[in-house]
């Protein structure tokens, strides 16, 4: 079993590094104004990224986080989800042990974001960027862990004929 | 041909496209629409075809991808159609604000070229209701992004559904 685990770990690490880099690029893209101030060279890049992210977010300024006077290309909730996934991807690089996550954690993580969205939809509360951001982080983090666990589970079960439970 | 195989992702993809067109709904659900649609497509597939075995990751990715493609196709079509009928859209309406913001940054000649391109798109839309460059841009970006988000939704959906069943 130890040999098997040692054999699989590099593949998992590679997979997690790939996801980490992909999420890093995505997070860098929407927070571009924070890293690169808009000037003559970056104006086209800024417009391009703004258009790209318009497909996944409404980009309403009053719902977006602004840094140095420039707004992120996505709203506070989306920023939270992606940054949560990014935090998850960083942690997954250092914590390689496989976990068989229970479904209740997914529901627990989704609950705050659902409540937040519902309260705003029903005009029970105003849109609070911090609340949207924090609930997004919780959801994004959990979703990433589920995502990576689903893919790794597939490779373990289908490529090695071992169950995840055997790693416990 | 078993049409039940194609119905789930067509229905959910179409539903997601409709939701992305409604501004009020989009402002609340945002990037969760397409992944949720992929999740829905997988669940609907189980119910429609009476499948009780765990979902394979290949199938989850395929369903997510196809749901994303369907959503991208219809949402682009809706956007182009609505723009054609109304001769305006968010891009045209926000262009003056974008231009004044950019002008205030004093970016020089490159800004003029960029704004020239954007203004041409805006003029085409205002005059005829259609701009080829705009249509191509939104279709291309929707296809790429929705299919990626669809795949993510499919994999997460598979994980959740398999654990439940």
Residue B37: pLDDT above 90?
Answer: yes
Q: Name the residue facing B160 among A60, A74, A103 (closest C-beta).
A: A103
Domain extent at residue A45: 2-167
Nearest CA in chain A to B79: A55
Is A161 a residue whose pLDDT tops 60?
no
* Chain A CB contacts of B149 below 8 Å: 56
Contact A49, A72 (CB under 8 A): no
From the list B27, B146, B156, the residue facing A55 with the nearest CB is B146
Query: Is the pLDDT reported for residue A9 higher than 50?
Result: yes
How many C-beta neighbours within 10 Å does residue A149 have?
19
Q: What are the distances in angstroms from CA A150 to CA A56, A72, A121, B108?
A: 23, 30, 32, 50
- Note whether B155 contacts A149, CB cutoff 8 Å: no
Instruction: Look at A41 and B110 and tell me if their CB atoms are within 8 Å.
Output: yes
Cα A50 to Cα A58: distance, rounded to the nearest angstrom: 11
**Above 50 in pLDDT, residue A168?**
no
Q: What's the domain count of chain A?
A: 1
List the end-to-end C-alpha distance of chain B, in Å, as a whole number: 28
Residue A86 has pLDDT above 70, yes or no: yes
Closest among B16, B40, B27 to B158, alpha carbons compared: B40
Residue B105 near residue A38 (C-beta atoms within 8 A): yes
Q: What pLDDT, on a 0 to 100 scale, did the predictor assign at position B55?
A: 86
Taking the Cβ of residue B36 and every Cβ of chain A, the question of whether any pair is shorter than 8 Å is answered with: no
Q: DSSP labels for B6-49?
A: THHHHHHHHHHHHHHHSHHHHHHHGGGHHHHHHHHHHHHHHHHH
Q: What is the pLDDT of residue A27?
A: 92
Min distance B60 CA to chain A CA atoms (Å): 11
**pLDDT higher than threshold 80 for residue B97:** no
Nearest chain A CA: its distance from B110 CA (Å) = 6
B65's CB contacts (< 8 A; 6+ apart) are: B147, B150, B151, B154
Residue at token pair 């496989």:
A98
Q: pLDDT of A69-84, one tens digit each?
A: 778 889 999 999 999 9
Report CA-CA distances (Å) from A163 to A1, A167, B55.
11, 8, 16
B69: pLDDT strictly greater than 50: yes
pLDDT band per the 50, 70, 90 thresholds, residue A164: very low
- Determine whether the interchain pair A39/B107 forms a contact, defined as Cβ–Cβ distance below 8 Å: yes
Q: Compare B124 and B1 and report the one with higher pLDDT.
A: B124
**What's the ipTM?**
0.70
Q: Is the pLDDT of residue A30 over 80?
A: yes
pLDDT digits (tens, 9 = 90+) for B102-118: 676 666 666 777 778 88
Beta pairing partners, A67: A70
Contact A55 B145 (CB under 8 A): yes
pLDDT at A51 over 80: no
List of chain B residues whose C-beta atoms are within 8 Å of the C-beta of residue A47: 114, 118
Per-residue pLDDT reduced to its tens digit, B70-92: 999 999 999 899 999 988 887 78
Q: What is the CA radius of gyration of chain B?
A: 19
* Prediction pTM value: 0.79
Residue B78 Cα distances to A6, A163, B18, B21, B89, angstroms: 51, 46, 8, 7, 12
DSSP category for residue A67: E
> In angstroms, rounded to a whole number, what is the distance separating the alpha carbons of residues B80 and A35?
34
Q: Which of the residues A22, A44, A58 would you substitute to probe the B interface, choosing the one with the greatest number of B C-beta atoms within 10 Å?
A: A58
């Amino acid at each position: 079993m130890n040999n098997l685990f040692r054999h699989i770990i590099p593949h998992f690490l590679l997979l997690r590094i790939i996801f980490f880099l992909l999420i890093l690029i995505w997070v860098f893209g929407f927070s571009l104004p924070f890293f690169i101030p808009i000037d003559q060279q970056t104006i086209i890049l800024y417009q391009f990224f703004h258009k790209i992210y318009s497909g996944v977010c409404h980009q309403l300024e009053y719902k977006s986080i602004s840094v140095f006077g420039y707004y992120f290309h996505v709203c506070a909730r989306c920023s939270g989800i992606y940054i949560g996934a990014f935090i998850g991807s960083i942690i997954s690089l250092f914590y390689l042990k496989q976990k068989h996550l229970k479904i209740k954690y997914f529901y627990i993580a989704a609950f705050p974001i659902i409540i937040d969205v519902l309260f705003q939809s029903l005009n029970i509360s105003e849109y609070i960027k911090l609340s949207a951001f924090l609930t997004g982080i919780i959801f994004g983090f959990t979703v990433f862990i589920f995502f990576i666990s689903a893919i790794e589970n597939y490779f373990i079960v289908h490529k090695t004929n071992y169950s995840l439970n055997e790693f416990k | 041909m078993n049409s039940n195989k194609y119905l789930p992702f067509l229905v959910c993809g179409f539903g997601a496209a409709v939701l992305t067109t409604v501004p009020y709904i989009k402002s609340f659900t945002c990037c969760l629409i397409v992944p949720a649609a992929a999740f829905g497509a997988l669940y609907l597939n189980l119910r429609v075809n009476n499948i009780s075995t765990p979902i394979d990751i290949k199938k989850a990715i395929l369903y997510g991808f196809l749901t994303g493609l369907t959503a991208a196709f219809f949402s682009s079509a809706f956007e182009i159609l609505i723009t054609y009928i109304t001769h305006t859209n968010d891009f045209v309406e926000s262009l003056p604000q974008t231009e004044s913001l950019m002008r205030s940054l004093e970016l020089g000649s490159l800004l003029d070229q960029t704004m020239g391109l954007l203004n041409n798109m805006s003029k085409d839309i205002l005059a005829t209701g259609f701009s080829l460059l705009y249509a191509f841009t939104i279709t291309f970006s929707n296809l790429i992004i929705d299919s990626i988000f669809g795949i993510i939704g499919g994999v997460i959906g598979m994980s959740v559904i398999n654990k439940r069943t």
